[in-house]
């Protein structure tokens, strides 16, 4: 596989609370020969909250982010499900509403930018599977994950609403997603089946409704644990940080010890590709992961 | 006509006689035009006359035949069985919308749905003159402001798919909010503020939406309830009803961060949302995160490149005034 090149919209968490997502993404891309151009100009996507306050502003800021991918003449990849949702939602609105696009471009013109709609927006997970290919990834495996039972946790914003994502996520069925399972199998791990793999972790109400968030996360973590998972893996850093950092609170809420390491998808891929654990940033996990 | 053999695992329960529910298998030949409702009918008419489910119009408008197939909410009379087979394989599990509310097989107690619905005053509230001089005409543009929220058929698909409602029974949920928006967006209505005060409540209101998009996915009429939840949030700020609390400040805080750094200042967002006192309860986590190298100190806070451009754009594109808070 050669010549894969994307503009990487890192989002905020990869540059702050989950530095391991940044380092593992870059390490996996390098190992696979995928070129990622960092969009350092990009701002926060608004994380599905800014739109609650000012919807137009949220669209303008996301349009601006996409402009920088367009400037490079590259498709954009995201490494956070919520970045993916917000960027894709803004793009869908802009591409289907010429009047809105004109209004947004009027603002962007003030800073010398123009949204054209020429760059596709996909989560890196799907770029890997669709463009690089599972077979090609399987061929690169150096340390098979055959010792591990891995519980995939898809994260809401890569799979719902399906009509928005269908071109970006290979038509994933939101009620029965399989891409992460297939990826885990390609790395020779065992993908664990449990009810909550496509459920919500509750991240977005963590501050105002911790009980809701902890019950949702707890249900997923315990479901995975009861299905004999050694770890959980997710493409979304918001799911990851919630379920990695908050396990003491989650355990309290659900009345059972949840202890389960939660890995970012590129960390799991990196383990199988034989990338040094230091580069994968495993030391940043609150719920520690120990290699078998 | 070509048919396919499909196994249906059907939830069976009679609250009057059964202590526990069970699943019964039915193997049926399914043709390309068969809808889920045809299967329910054939089970009842050909296999077991005691099998119970709700149905009425058969045209996707009464909302009574909503159930779940392999956890996917469906209106039985609208969904083709072989399309489901394509998505889920030749074994299909047929469940009521909410197993914990089952009365008999597919029939559930929808009391909680109607109570939540009633709570938002789901009707037009206006002083209407008894003998008006002219017609009260709603223009096409005004009608379009409803964003098709009036298409809701009260089937409950969104409510029984809602993640937040599954763990928080006080939450009013997507159908009630879509309806609150439907009347708040109606130019004839005069109870907008009253409804906004209802949906602003922490614990039951729109702030408890987890943004999972299950409702958007579940709705058979494309009402897109989560879009209406966003619109209610917008109205809360526009009408200055939103109480100044952790939830509303959290939404506003994103703008502050972006103005300053382009990127989000995660720590400052929590401090701003919780306030100086409220933030104290997060200190144990903050210490753990700091030890694990997960907290960026203020002087190392990353900033977007071309930050001047970001600031200029935020200034010129903002459509909502700085939020002061209603209380």
Asked if B302's CB is within 8 angstroms of A16's CB, the reply is: yes
Residue A128 in any domain: the answer is no
Query: What does the pLDDT read at residue B128?
Result: 85
Distance from CA of B141 to the nearest CA of A (A): 15
Kindly state whether A49 is in contact with chain B, defined as any CB-CB distance less than 8 angstroms: yes
- CA–CA separation, A94 vs A99, rounded Å? 9
pLDDT digits (tens, 9 = 90+) for B104-128: 999 999 999 999 999 999 999 999 8
Please count the structural domains in chain A.
2
**pLDDT-based confidence at residue B136 (cuts at 50, 70, 90):** confident
Kindly state whether A50 is in contact with chain B, defined as any CB-CB distance less than 8 angstroms: yes
Which DSSP letter does residue B173 get? H
Which DSSP letter does residue A46 get? -
Per-residue tokens: A2: 């050669």
Residue B71 in any domain: the answer is yes
- Nearest-Cα residue of chain A relative to residue B238: A53
Whether residue A174 contacts residue A197, with contact meaning beta carbons closer than 8 Å, is answered with no
Q: Which of B181, B204, B238 is the last residue of a domain?
A: B238
Query: Are A22 and A116 found together in one domain?
Result: yes
Hey, of B84, B93, B242, B304, which one would you mutate to test binding to chain A, going by the most A CBs within 10 A of its CB? B304
Mean pLDDT rounded to a whole number for chain A: 97
Nearest to A44 among B217, B233, B263 (CB): B263
Residue B327 pLDDT exceeds 70: no
Those residues with Cβ within 8 angstroms of residue B284's Cβ, 6 or more apart along the chain or in another chain: none
Residue B243 pLDDT exceeds 80: yes
Nearest to A216 among B163, B312, B318 (CB): B163
Asked if B295's CB is within 8 angstroms of A245's CB, the reply is: no
Distance from CA of B57 to the nearest CA of A (A): 27
Query: Are A167 and A272 found together in one domain?
Result: yes
What CATH number corresponds to the domain at position A30? 1.20.1050.140
Kindly state whether A12 is in contact with chain B, defined as any CB-CB distance less than 8 angstroms: yes
Nearest to B264 among A12, A54, A107 (CB): A12
Residue A218 in any domain: the answer is yes
Query: Are B82 and B192 found together in one domain?
Result: no
Query: What does the pLDDT read at residue B326?
Result: 61
Mean pLDDT rounded to a whole number for chain B: 96
Hey, of A12, A156, A249, which one would you mutate to test binding to chain B, going by the most B CBs within 10 A of its CB? A12
Q: What is the ipTM of this complex?
A: 0.97
What CATH number corresponds to the domain at position B149? 1.10.1060.10
Residue B167 pLDDT exceeds 60: yes
**pLDDT-based confidence at residue A2 (cuts at 50, 70, 90):** low
- Nearest-Cα residue of chain B relative to residue A173: B87
Kindly state whether A44 is in contact with chain B, defined as any CB-CB distance less than 8 angstroms: yes
- The b-or-e profile of B315-326 (16+ CB within 10 A means b, else e) is eebbeeeebeeb
Query: Are B203 and B221 found together in one domain?
Result: yes
B window 305-324, beta carbon within 8 A of A: 305-306, 309-310, 312-314, 316-320, 323
Please count the structural domains in chain B.
3
Query: Are B119 and B231 found together in one domain?
Result: yes
Query: Are A151 and A13 found together in one domain?
Result: no
Residue B323 in any domain: the answer is no
Query: Are A58 and A105 found together in one domain?
Result: yes
- CA–CA separation, A245 vs B36, rounded Å? 43
B window 101-160, beta carbon within 8 A of A: none
Residue B297 in any domain: the answer is yes
Which residue range(s) make up the domain with B92? 3-108
Whether residue A202 contacts residue A212, with contact meaning beta carbons closer than 8 Å, is answered with yes
Distance from CA of B252 to the nearest CA of A (A): 6
Distance from CA of B238 to the nearest CA of A (A): 9
Per-residue tokens: B73: 């909410």
DSSP A221-251: HHHHHHTT-SEEEES-HHHHHHHHHTHHHHH
Asked if B213's CB is within 8 angstroms of A285's CB, the reply is: no
Q: Which of B195, B210, B238 is the last residue of a domain?
A: B238
Distance from CA of A231 to the nearest CA of B (A): 19
Q: Which of B210, B238, B266 is the last residue of a domain?
A: B238
- CA–CA separation, A34 vs B149, rounded Å? 45
pLDDT digits (tens, 9 = 90+) for A10-33: 999 999 999 999 999 999 999 999
Residue B76 in any domain: the answer is yes
pLDDT digits (tens, 9 = 90+) for B41-84: 999 999 999 999 999 999 999 999 999 999 999 999 999 999 99
């Amino acid at each position: 596989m050669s010549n894969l090149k994307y503009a990487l919209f890192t989002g905020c968490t990869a540059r702050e609370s989950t530095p391991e997502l940044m380092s593992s993404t870059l390490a996996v891309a390098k190992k696979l020969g995928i070129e990622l151009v960092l969009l350092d100009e990009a701002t926060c996507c608004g994380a599905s909250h800014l739109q609650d306050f000012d919807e137009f502003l949220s669209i303008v800021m996301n349009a601006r982010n996409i402009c920088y991918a367009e400037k490079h003449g590259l498709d954009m990849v995201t490494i956070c499900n919520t970045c993916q949702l917000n960027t894709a939602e803004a793009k869908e609105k802009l591409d289907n509403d010429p009047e809105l696009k004109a209004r947004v471009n009027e603002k962007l013109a003030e800073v010398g930018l123009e949204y054209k709609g020429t760059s596709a927006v996909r989560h890196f997970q799907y770029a890997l599977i669709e463009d690089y290919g599972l077979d090609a990834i399987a061929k690169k495996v150096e340390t098979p994950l055959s010792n591990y039972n891995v519980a995939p946790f898809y994260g809401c914003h890569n799979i719902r609403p399906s009509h928005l994502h269908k071109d970006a996520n290979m038509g994933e069925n939101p009620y029965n997603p399989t891409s992460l399972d297939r990826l885990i199998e390609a790395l020779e791990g065992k993908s664990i089946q449990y009810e909550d793999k496509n459920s919500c972790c509750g991240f977005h109400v963590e501050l105002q409704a911790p009980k809701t968030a902890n019950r949702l996360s707890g249900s997923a973590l315990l479901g995975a644990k009861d299905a004999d998972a050694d770890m959980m893996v997710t493409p979304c850093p918001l799911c990851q940080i919630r379920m990695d950092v908050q396990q003491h609170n989650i355990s309290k809420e659900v009345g059972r010890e949840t202890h389960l390491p939660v890995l970012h998808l590129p960390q799991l891929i990196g383990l199988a590709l034989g990338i040094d654990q230091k580069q994968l940033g495993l030391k940043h996990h609150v719920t520690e992961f120990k290699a078998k | 006509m070509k048919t396919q053999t499909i196994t249906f695992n059907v939830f069976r329960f009679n609250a009057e006689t059964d202590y526990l529910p069970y699943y019964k298998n039915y193997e049926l030949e399914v043709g390309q035009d068969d809808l889920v409702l045809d299967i329910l009918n054939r089970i009842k008419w050909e296999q077991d006359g005691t099998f119970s489910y709700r149905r009425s119009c058969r045209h996707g408008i009464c909302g009574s035949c909503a159930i779940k197939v392999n956890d996917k909410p469906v209106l039985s009379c609208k969904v083709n069985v072989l399309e489901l087979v394509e998505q889920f394989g030749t074994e299909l599990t047929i469940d009521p919308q909410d197993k914990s509310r089952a009365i008999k097989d597919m029939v559930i107690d929808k009391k909680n749905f109607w109570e939540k619905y009633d709570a938002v005053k789901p009707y037009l509230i206006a002083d209407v003159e008894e003998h008006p001089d002219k017609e009260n005409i709603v223009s096409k543009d005004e009608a379009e402001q409803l964003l098709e929220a009036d298409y809701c058929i009260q089937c409950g698909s969104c409510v029984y798919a809602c993640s937040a409602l599954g763990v928080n029974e006080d939450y009013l949920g997507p159908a009630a909010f879509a309806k609150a928006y439907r009347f708040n967006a109606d130019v004839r209505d005069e109870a907008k503020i009253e409804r906004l005060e209802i949906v602003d409540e922490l614990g039951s209101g729109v702030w408890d939406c987890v943004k999972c998009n299950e409702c958007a996915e579940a709705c058979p009429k494309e009402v897109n309830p989560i879009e209406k939840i966003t619109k209610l949030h917008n109205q809360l700020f526009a009408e200055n009803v939103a109480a100044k609390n952790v939830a509303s400040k959290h939404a506003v805080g994103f703008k502050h961060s972006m103005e300053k750094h382009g990127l989000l200042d995660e720590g400052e967002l929590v401090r701003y949302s919780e306030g100086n006192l409220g933030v104290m309860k997060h200190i144990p986590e903050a210490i753990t995160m700091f030890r694990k190298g997960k907290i960026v100190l203020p002087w190392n806070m990353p900033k977007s490149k071309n930050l001047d451009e970001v600031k200029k754009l935020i200034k010129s594109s903002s459509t909502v005034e700085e939020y002061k808070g209603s209380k």
